[in-house]
Amino acid sequence: MYKQFWNSLSKLNSPQVVSEFFSDLLTDTEKVMLAKRFTAAILISRGKSASEIKESIHLSFSTIGSVSAWVKYARPKTQEVLKMISNEKDWQAIIDKIDSLFGKLPPAYYSNWSEAGKQKWKNLKSRSARNELR
């Protein structure tokens, strides 16, 4: 049954058909959570911390932990796919929006606020340079 399910999905040949299929299959909450988990996987593979992910896309630490374990122990092909997807232009725009949210977060308690401010400035300049190159 499991194998047949994935074989059937592999025959869906366009993003529109896949979207319609999953829209019928999943509830609205399931669709949102699936998208959030996938976004968390992309952010984890890009080195974002659990607290940054929690604040930006509102996931619990337990969900972030399970996604992190999945990313960490994923097969090499899966990790390659995550890296490839995170470098696509559509995902770059989403990641840039999330990165800009990270810039709005206050520094953590007991951290060096001066260094955190310098890092935010550096990240802002980096995002700006990336946007100009696109």
pLDDT tens per residue across all 134 residues of the chain: 999 998 998 998 888 998 899 899 999 889 889 888 988 998 898 888 898 888 778 899 999 999 999 999 999 998 888 888 877 777 777 777 776 666 666 666 667 777 777 777 777 777 666 566 55
Give the other-Cβ count within 10 Å of 44's Cβ.
20
The whole-number pLDDT of residue 81 equals 87
What count of residues does the chain have?
134
Q: Where are the domains of the chain?
A: 17-133
The whole-number pLDDT of residue 103 equals 63
The whole-number pLDDT of residue 60 equals 93
The whole-number pLDDT of residue 108 equals 64
The whole-number pLDDT of residue 132 equals 61
- Extract long-range pairs of 98-106: CB within 8 Å, 24+ residues apart: 98/39, 98/43, 98/56, 98/57, 99/123, 99/127, 100/127, 101/55, 101/56, 102/48, 102/52, 102/55, 102/56, 105/52, 105/55
